[in-house]
Amino acid sequence: MNFPVLSIIVFSPIVAAMVILLIPAERKTEARGVALAAAIFALLLSLWAYLSYDKAAAGYQFMEQYNWLPQLGVSLHFGVDGISAPLVLLTGVVMFTGVLISWGDFGEHVSAGIQDRPREFFAFLFILASGVFGVFASLDLFMLFFFFEIAVFPMYLLIVIWGWDKTREYAAMKLTLYLFIGSVVALVGALAMYWVAGQNTGVYTFDLLQLEKAGFSASFQNLWFLPVFFGFAVLGGIWPFHNWSPDGHVAAPTAVSMFHAGVLMKLGAFAALRVGIMLLPEGAKYWSWVIMLSAGIAIVYGAFIAFVQTDLKYMIGFSSVWFRGRVPNLPGRVENPMAGGCDCQHFHYPDRRVRDDGYQPRILRQDAGKI
Amino acid sequence: MPERFEGHITPITTLDKVAIFTLSLLMVVIGLFPAIMVPLVETGVNNILRLLGGL
């Protein structure tokens, strides 16, 4: 079936957001209905893409490429591999359940969903979802960064308008500052890679598949790995740049908190992996001890801090910091085949990882959000 | 229910149940049948391990 499934998955939430914004403000049920329909549509498509992935063939599949700015080497290049395909599905699931949780008025019950301006809420939520889908599917560094920013920006609005009124402004600003500063650092590294790859190969391109073959020198990789990795991994809640995360969890409305924990933090780790590790593997090996140290501290520190929390959402937030420490351990330990083999279990047994970080905390956050 | 929670905890709705059931079902299914996801993720991870010299 040769149809642009990834483009549709990525852009359908934005189209849905625009449709929702055209609905009159007083027609809240219709806005919710359109949101639910769009979420179901994205979920079904992402499920189809997941089930259709050819494991035997492996590699990038469902590839699409459309020139965007050929003079700069920017193209809309989509493709998923074994890591991003489940993440696309995960985003679809979270989108669907997030819409259900945010439904708001429900007959005689007034649930903990979104009663105030659901139209705008779902529009911003879907812009966020579109950004997330885009990062997971993108094989162009410029577009990956573009979608990365699209995923960050709506978080500010969603938290500051619909969040917990005691801390929402503080948490939203803190989250935004951390993530934007991290992404600026990563952008500088990305531009450095673009420039040097162009000098090495004679072709200036942001295409990730071509950048993988750009032949970056070991010294270049050692120099730029840390800014690129940590710049993206800030969104993944890596210690010591994790502090925005628990405040964001507490202040965010339930569906946003579900997105935050279940998808957004994976986005950061994924981008760090896709750009930092896959493009700069020598740098990853050279700085593996830094990643391991950061991850180890996050694991211990996050656990202890989670223990002493009296607020359920803060406890979940810090437990996320703890778990985020486990994820970077993989590239940090891969030089030791034994350790790498053990740690590969996080990926080899994604059920545990998905249980521990993808779905279980999302359920906890959902329940915490109801309280 | 403790008095301090009165008015703060709302009744669970049908849609909440659907959402929780969906997430729980996925969690349980993947936990019981990891083969649904493991081979797929392995293909992606092996690529990274090859780059890092761990394979």
User: Best residue in A97, A166, A254, A285 to probe B by mutation, most B CBs within 10 Å?
Assistant: A97
Contact between A350 and B37 under an 8 Å Cβ cutoff? The reply is yes
Contact list, B20 vs chain A (CB under 8 Å): 363, 366-367
pLDDT-derived band of residue B8, with 50, 70 and 90 as boundaries?
A: low
Interface contact A334-B14, CB threshold 8 A? no
- Residue in B19, B24, B37 nearest the CB of A86: B37
Interface contact B54-A340, CB threshold 8 A? yes
ipTM of the complex: 0.88
Contact between A327 and A346 under an 8 Å Cβ cutoff? The reply is yes
Contact list, A312 vs chain B (CB under 8 Å): none
Dihedral-angle region of residue A59 (phi above 0 means left; psi in -120 to 50 means alpha; beta otherwise): left
Weakest-pLDDT range from A16-25, A167-176, A248-257, A325-334: A325-334
Contact list, A93 vs chain B (CB under 8 Å): 22-23, 26
Chain B residue with minimum CA distance to A262: B23
Contact list, A352 vs chain B (CB under 8 Å): 31
Nearest in space to A252 (alpha carbons), one of A238, A266, A262: A262
pLDDT digits (tens, 9 = 90+) for A135-146: 999 999 999 999
Longest Cα–Cα distance in chain B = 59
Q: In whole angstroms, how far apart are CA A96 and each of A35, A59, A313, A328?
A: 9, 28, 22, 28
Weakest-pLDDT range from A211-220, A338-347, A352-361: A338-347
pLDDT digits (tens, 9 = 90+) for A309-318: 888 878 887 8
* Global confidence as pTM: 0.85
Contact between A354 and B23 under an 8 Å Cβ cutoff? The reply is no
Contact list, B19 vs chain A (CB under 8 Å): 96-97, 100-101, 366
Nearest in space to A9 (alpha carbons), one of A121, A129, A122: A129
Question: CB-based contact (8 Å) between B2 and chain A?
Answer: no
Contact list, A349 vs chain B (CB under 8 Å): 34, 38
Angle (CA) A48-A54-A55 rounded to 5° is 120
Q: Residue B25: enclosing H or E segment and its boundaries? A: helix B14-32
Task: Please tell me the predicted confidence (pLDDT) of residue A361.
Answer: 45
Q: What is the DSSP string of A306-346?
A: HHT--SHHHHHHHHHHHHHHHSTHHHHHTTSHHHHHHHTHH
Give the span between the Cα atoms of A84 and A239, in whole angstroms. Answer: 24
Give the span between the Cα atoms of A180 and A229, in whole angstroms. Answer: 14
Question: CB-based contact (8 Å) between B38 and chain A?
Answer: yes
pLDDT digits (tens, 9 = 90+) for A291-308: 999 989 988 888 888 888
- Residue in A96, A334, A351 nearest the CB of B31: A351
Chain A residue with minimum CA distance to B32: A351
Interface contact A362-B14, CB threshold 8 A? no
Chain A residue with minimum CA distance to B44: A82
Q: In whole angstroms, how far apart are CA A44 and each of A51, A275, A286, B41?
A: 10, 28, 42, 20
**Chain centre distance of CA A140:** 16
Which DSSP letter does residue A138 get? Answer: B
Residue B46 structure tokens: 């092996």
Query: What residues form DSSP beta bridges with A67?
Result: A75
**pLDDT, mean over chain A:** 85
